[in-house]
Amino acid sequence: MNKQQVYHLIGIGIGPFNLGLAALLHPVKSVHAVFFDQGDVFDWHPGLMLDNATLQTPFMGTDLVTMADPTSHFSWLNFLKQTNRLYPFFIRESFYMLRKEYNQYCKWVIEQLPSCRFSHKVVSVAYNNELYEVSVQHTKTGQLTTYYAERLVLGTGTQPYVPAFVNRAVLPNVIHTSEYLSNKANILKQGALTVIGSGQSAAEIFHDLLPETRNGFQLDWITRAERFYPMEYSKLTLELTSPEYVDYFYNMPPEKRRKILSAQNPLFKGINYDLINEIFDTLYEMSVGGQPVNVQLKTCSELNSITAGTGSHAYALQFTQVQQQLPFTHHTNAVVLATGYKYNEPAFIQGIHERIRRMPDQLPDVHRNYTIDINNSEIFVQNVELHSHGFVTPDLGMGAYRNSRIINAITGKEIYKVEERIAYQEFGVAAAKAPAEQLVQEHF
């Protein structure tokens, strides 16, 4: 075994969360780490890289390191300084990064991290002699190399979700939001588009295409939700993105967690409040003087199927109005599915399945310290723990906190200070204890 290929930690996948981990580990010389990604380069949601789109979390939380180490070389503010954009960003007076600039920032960080290796696909993982054996194939040369690690961090991310009833092989103009920009020119040629879904991506695409309706383009927006709701962003609500709320949620029974999550969509799936207002204002301006607006918006409508259409329309969409429980058909020439993303467990996990804890529904049983292995200390996960740690799981603003917990667990030291309590409010009460006399009587 080549000692140079034995690491304390191997990270699989280089999205924002594992990239933040790599940046925070860079100055920790006691940890020998390497990160692999099968992509050729880092490119974060290129299909939605609209010119004016911003992230929904203020820059201090969105950047990779600041909430763990405000002095880090890899901070957003230092990126602006080194690229001569600090003063323009200050004058702009906005806490929210442009999505395009966030992508550039992440690439700037990667350029300085030799631990990050792209075009490297993990094809299998095994456990031998108390080490994880990771087989990695270079996607351009085909060369296969084996690396060894004491611990793993899985950051393979989520994948675009398309409903099972959508057969894209026979529906060429039905796309996911992740493919929008590369398909925009073709969409405009179709003359009519329907956006399905009510989240931020759906709103951004609808807003981007609204000007085209002045030229006769038909634009429709349909969602199962009962309204086009904004992301709830009040300050006391933001306290739910806190360590103590994660503790509170984690200690709930699984069924209770599911019920809580089902009611929390406005906390992490809503639309930016300003964007909703911009859409309304644009529609209002376009309708001045009674001008017809080639737009239709529908709520409470669940998509059931997409089939070939008739006449001038390419597709027929079958819906159910969920409150009235009435079916209806909608015709269009193209569809954008804003159906979100889901975690798909990577195939290489099968090689170490005996070391992973599972819940009865086969979801990974994620420990409070973000591990899923039988020893609670070896296999860490990023953005997999929605069911166990709550709605903050995909939030970029909690990435530095989770990475601090992971690094401290790996080293057995407080490398990065982890706040235990940041909220003014309390989320639960201690379990009531019966008086000693009552306990004795019950025992006998």
Every domain of the chain and the residues it spans: 3-159+342-411, 162-231+269-337
Q: For position 439, what pLDDT does the model report?
A: 40
Reading the block at residue 313, the tokens are 């329309």
**Do the Cβ atoms of 21 and 14 come closer than 8 Å?**
no
Angle between helix 16-25 and helix 99-111 axes, rounded to 10 deg: 40
CB atoms within 10 A of CB 239: 15
- Exposure string over 389-401, b if 16+ CB within 10 A, otherwise e: bbbbbbbbbbbbb
Rounded Cα distance, 376 and 368, in Å: 9
The stretches in the chain having pLDDT less than 50 are: 434, 436-444
Q: For position 407, what pLDDT does the model report?
A: 98
Q: For position 255, what pLDDT does the model report?
A: 96
Residue type for position 117: R
Q: For position 242, what pLDDT does the model report?
A: 93
Rounded Cα distance, 18 and 38, in Å: 14
Q: Where are the alpha helices (DSSP H) in 232-321?
A: 235-238, 243-250, 254-262, 265-268, 273-286
Q: For position 441, what pLDDT does the model report?
A: 38
In three-state secondary structure terms, 298 is strand
Alpha carbons within 13 angstroms on the beta-carbon side of residue 35 total: 27
Rounded Cα distance, 114 and 131, in Å: 23
Q: For position 3, what pLDDT does the model report?
A: 57
**Considering the entire predicted model, what is its pTM?**
0.93
CATH numeric code, 3-159+342-411: 3.50.50.60
Rounded Cα distance, 169 and 150, in Å: 43
3-159+342-411 and 162-231+269-337 agree in CATH topology: yes
Q: For position 444, what pLDDT does the model report?
A: 28
Give me the residues paired with residue 259 across strands: none
Q: What are phi and psi of 254, to 5 degrees?
A: -50, -40
Q: Identify the CATH assignment for 162-231+269-337 out of 3.40.50.1970, 3.40.50.300, 3.50.50.60, 3.30.460.20.
A: 3.50.50.60
Q: For position 291, what pLDDT does the model report?
A: 86
**Do the Cβ atoms of 202 and 177 come closer than 8 Å?**
yes
Spatial CA neighbour of 203 closest among 53, 393, 49, 47: 53
Q: For position 233, what pLDDT does the model report?
A: 87
Above pLDDT 90, what percent of the chain? 90
Spatial CA neighbour of 420 closest among 395, 399, 401: 401
Q: Give ∠ CA 271-274-275 in degrees, rounded to 5.
A: 55
